[in-house]
Amino acid sequence: MKMLRMLNRSIRDSIKSVFRNFSLSLASISCITITLIIVAISMLASFNVQNFTKEIEKDLTIVVFLDSDTSEDRITDLKKEIGNFPNVESYEFESKEDVKQKMQKESEVLNTVLDGWSEEDNPLKPTFKLKVKNVNKIGKTADKIKQIENVSVVKYGEGMVETMISSFATIQKVAYGAVIALVVVTVFLIVNTIKLTIFSRKREISIMRLVGASNFTIKTPFIIEGMILGIFGSIIPIVFTTYGYLAFYNHFNGYLYTHLIKLIRPEPFIYQMSLIILVIGIIVGMIGSSKAVRKYLKV
């Protein structure tokens, strides 16, 4: 009961203080707003990058064609050999016959042409389709497979995929850097805001200490004030993220430029993002205010 009464008092005081020092609060709130918008953009970008990196990695396969005259025994050996490669996660084998049937299904014309081929003069190549564990090493793995006897052609994304993935990684790193720098700047701004509210209430605080208010009682209103600044500061970024991302998603129909790059579906994603933004806002406000309280209250 006592706790609740004190908390109630703290909340009332901190709301009052936010509005009493409105211009100052506004400065902090707008700084948090700007930070959170940039944080939100960075997060939207990096989650999407992560998402389509994963999508691409999932689709990425090494296709290995064997010579068409490879014997059944040799194929059995090769299955073992390729399956045992450290970077190979799984493989799918298609015999000449399988390939032929697949092609026949694809079109009427092919169907009639291929129908004339017997088992012996089927010129198609038996094929392995490999999934790798680590996409960054896909080039090396492909090179090694090329050197195996009876392997005629090895095909994979060749260069383009690796560049894409490494440039995505760079984008993410830059985004993280920007976010951290901005958060630090915002914390400093909040420290200053709370410092000024502490100064304007110095008399009150000294009287509180004289009549025996505990440190907790003195500090809590300021920390709650920081949290309120954080909450106010996250309103615009949340609206921005929700509607901005929806508009963006709808404008591009869920794909960015090519069907290779698929955007994350907005439905649960924007809600999760809003929650993350709110939490970051509150935490940044809290860190800033508790820093200020520790520094300027000497309690």
Residue 262 makes contact with another protein by CB under 8 A: no
Binding flag, residue 290, another protein (CB under 8 A): no
Q: How far is the CB of 207 from another protein (least distance, A)?
A: 6
Task: Using alpha carbons, select from 255, 246, 224, 244 the residue that is nearest to residue 37.
Answer: 244
**Minimum CB distance to another protein, residue 195 (Å):** 19
- Find where tokens 């090694």 sit: 144
Query: Are the C-beta atoms of 289 and 194 separated by less than 8 Å?
Result: yes
| Tokens 């605080």 belong to residue | 205
Could you give the strand order of the β-sheet that contains 88-94, starting from the edge strand earlier in sequence? 88-94, 127-132, 62-66, 151-155
**Which of 9, 140, 202, 265 is close enough to bind another protein by CB under 8 A?**
9
Q: Segment 210-239, which members bind another protein (CB under 8 A)?
A: 210-215, 217
Nearest approach, Cβ of 212 to another protein (angstroms)? 4
Q: How many alpha carbons fall within 13 Å on the CB side of residue 161?
A: 22
For residues 186 and 286, the answer to whether their CB atoms sit within 8 Å is: no
Q: Give me the sign of the Cα torsion angle 140, 145, 149, 153.
A: negative
Q: Does the protein bind another protein through residue 204 (CB under 8 A)?
A: yes
Q: With CB under 8 A, what is the number of residues at the site for another protein?
A: 20
Is there binding between residue 2 and another protein (CB under 8 A)?
A: yes
Q: Which of 80, 203, 251, 259 binds another protein (CB under 8 A)?
A: 203
Binding mask 158-197 for another protein (x = CB under 8 A): ----------------------------------------
Q: Which of 105, 251, 259, 298 is close enough to bind another protein by CB under 8 A?
A: 298
**C-beta separation of 152 from 125 below 8 A:** yes
Q: Rule CB under 8 A: which residues touch another protein? A: 2-3, 5-6, 9, 203-204, 206-215, 217, 298-299
